[in-house]
Amino acid sequence: MVFFVLIRKRYMLYSNNPVSLFRRWFNICRYKKYNGVRYLLAITFFFITVSCQGQQQDMKHEWSQWLGYERLGIWHLDISKDTLVDSDLKKLWEIPVGTGYSGPTVSDGRVYLMDYTTDSPNRERVVCLDADTGELLWIHEYECTYSVGYPTGPRASVLLHEARAYSFGTMGDIYCLDAVNGKVLWYVDGIHTYDIRLPVWGLSASPVLENNLLILQLGGSPGACLVALDKDSGEEVWRALDDEASYSSPIIIDQAGKRVLVCWTGDNLVGLNPETGSMYWKVPYERSGGIINIATPVYASPYIFLSSFWDGSMLISLSQNTQEAELVWKRAGRNERNTDALHACMVTPVIYGDYVYGIDSYGELRCLDLLTGERVWSDTTLVPYGRWANAHLVTQGDKTWAFNELGQLILTKLTPGGYTDLGRVELVKPFKVSPNPRDGVNWAHPAFTGRRIYARSDAMVVCYEVVK
């Protein structure tokens, strides 16, 4: 076992794909001509495979990036609930924080988020807390004055990987920090390095990691809407597209035997080679107004579903034999008040079988036929009516958990037959801060890890545990 650990660390065999690991280890033995080690290939491969399977299970129960493990928005809760009442949740701690929309992420017993303080001078911060107690472990802060709409705080979630924390600020500050102590390992001043064309509400797309590359949607020029940086040094590896940036976080999927970076920019849905930035396919996204592409693309093989506030929804079909894509349908109403299909704002929809569920522009929960976009039903009880009214959705088996902007955690059942409310519990009250609407809104996505929920407002972060 010691041999396995040393070999894996020495040659950076961190992939969770056993076939990829086997090939890489074979090439090491072949090309470096290490006589006498080939006979260890089989046993090493066995240990690596077993270790990876165990690590995959552990990773599923963490929430180390936007939307959790593999950006699937799944809560890997080990118990099933049919109802939800106050006594089902136990508050473990609550800690004051600054304002912001950055959803918490959790790994290795620590919770990370970004916030904003308007003390002179204004500062953007990365905050690290003990996951069990809420104790403040460290803060990394830097001066940052916003020149964007809704200047309430950072948007993107901190990405965690191999004892490193990667943050992406509203104004383009990119940091790689030691996840244990907050020490700066490298920094890129994105707005000046890439001449970023800031979206109206600032940079919001959470970065994604593929092998040794940190990939960001930052709207730079020339040809730098998407940029890949070496995760260890911060050096640029590739850049791609002249598109404007949107607020939608990219995902990485498998298509016809290859990894594909899927990103919804301000102008297109694109599929790129994540290692090189070269384009596999592009589907134009014509918009009638400004960019309010916020929801993450939802992938349910072979389809990708998109929905935006102004321009409704579209369904794209991906070839399973080649790297190609084609539009299946696109539907939009006359405007954001007279909508067709779904005009989602912040919430990323969920797909169950042949149906998609999401929240329309003014808070109406809808069920659509995935293959046609036809509305099956609508419901107005999940979140109160209001422009941009929001509730984040995560799935757990045949149930859906929602965290609405009032700070309520809601257990639901979504089926083609309708919406069932199985109970709701208030986790954290909204904190009124200008220019947020209504009496304050909780727009940050919670983290769901093990039996715990980590949720935040513009004033507080809380931790609850599900009781059996």
Q: What is the mean pLDDT of residues 314-327?
A: 98
Q: What are phi and psi of 306, to 5 degrees?
A: -125, 150
Stretch 221-238: mean pLDDT: 98
Q: What is the pLDDT of residue 51?
A: 54
What is the tens place of the pLDDT at every residue in 256-305?
999 999 999 999 999 999 999 999 999 999 888 899 999 999 999 999 99
| pLDDT per position as a tens digit, 149-161 | 999 999 999 999 9
Cα 206 to Cα 105, 157, 167, 191, 296: the distances in Å are: 11, 6, 8, 16, 10
Q: Is the pLDDT of residue 418 over 50?
A: yes
* Beta bridge mates, 434: none
Q: Where are the domains of the chain?
A: 2-53, 61-466
Mean pLDDT of 198-214: 97
pLDDT tens-place string over residues 25-60: 554 454 444 455 554 555 555 555 545 555 555 677
In the predicted model, what is the mean pLDDT of residues 109-113?
98
Q: Which DSSP category does 86 fall into?
A: G
**Average pLDDT rounded to a whole number, residues 113-134:** 96
Closest CA to 92 of 129, 138, 40, 139: 129
pLDDT at position 147 over 70: yes
Specify the range with the lowest mean pLDDT, choosing from 7-11, 192-196, 442-446.
7-11
Helix axes 18-31, 41-60, angle to 10 degrees: 140
Tell me the C-alpha distance between 325 and 442, whole Å.
Answer: 36
- Assign residue 450 a region: left if phi > 0, alpha if psi is -120 to 50, beta otherwise? left
Contact 140, 126 (CB under 8 A): yes
Which range (49-53, 197-201, 323-327) has the least confidence? 49-53
The pLDDT, as a whole number, for residue 207 is: 98
**Mean pLDDT, rounded, for 7-32:** 47
Mean pLDDT of 330-355: 96
Q: Is 259:270 a contact under the CB 8 Å cutoff?
A: no
Position 52 scores a pLDDT of: 53
Higher pLDDT, 466 or 119: 466
- Residue that has been written with the tokens 């940091």 in this structure: 175
Task: Determine the pLDDT at residue 48.
Answer: 54
Residue 391 neighbours by CB distance under 10 Å: 22
Contact 69, 76 (CB under 8 A): yes
Residue 214: Cβ within 10 Å count: 24
Integer angstrom CA distances of residue 49 from 5, 13, 16, 54: 12, 11, 8, 9
pLDDT score, position 159: 98
Task: State the pLDDT at residue 180.
Answer: 98
Contact 405, 393 (CB under 8 A): no
Q: Decide: 128 and 182 in contact? Cβ < 8 Å.
A: yes
pLDDT the model gives residue 88: 97
For residues 403 and 445, is the Cβ–Cβ distance under 8 A? yes
Rounded CA-CA distance 91/464 in Å is: 4
Tell how strand 399-404 and strand 173-178 pair up: unpaired
Q: Is the dihedral of CA 302, 358, 394, 158 positive or negative?
A: positive
Percent of residues, the chain, with pLDDT higher than 70:
88
pLDDT on residue 60: 79
Residue at 230: amino acid letter: D
What is the pLDDT, as a whole number, of residue 468? Answer: 80
> What average pLDDT score do residues 98-110 get?
98
The mean predicted confidence, pLDDT, of the chain is 91
* Distance in angstroms (rounded) separating the CA atoms of residues 297 and 303: 10
> What distance in Å separates the CA atoms of residue 302 and residue 448, rounded to the nearest whole number?
27
- Domain 61-466 class in CATH: mainly beta
The token pair at 8 is 């894996």
- Examine the pLDDT at 18 and tell me if it is beyond 80: no
Q: How far is C-alpha 29 from the geometric centre of its chain's CA atoms?
A: 37
pTM: 0.89
Between CA 296 and CA 67 the distance in angstroms is 9
For residue 349, count other CB atoms closer than 10 A to its CB. Answer: 23
SS3 readout for 97-138: CCECCCCCEEECCEEEEEEEECCCCCEEEEEEEECCCCCEEE
Instruction: Identify the sign of the CA torsion 110, 115, 120, 121.
Output: positive
Place of tokens 């069990």: 132
pLDDT in tens, 373-411: 999 999 999 999 999 999 999 999 999 999 999 999 999
Tell me the three state secondary structure of residue 69: helix
Query: Residue 245, SS3?
Result: coil
**Tell me, what's the pLDDT at 422?**
98
- Residue 31 is predicted with a pLDDT of 42
Nearest 10 degrees: Cα torsion 304, 308, 310, 314: 10
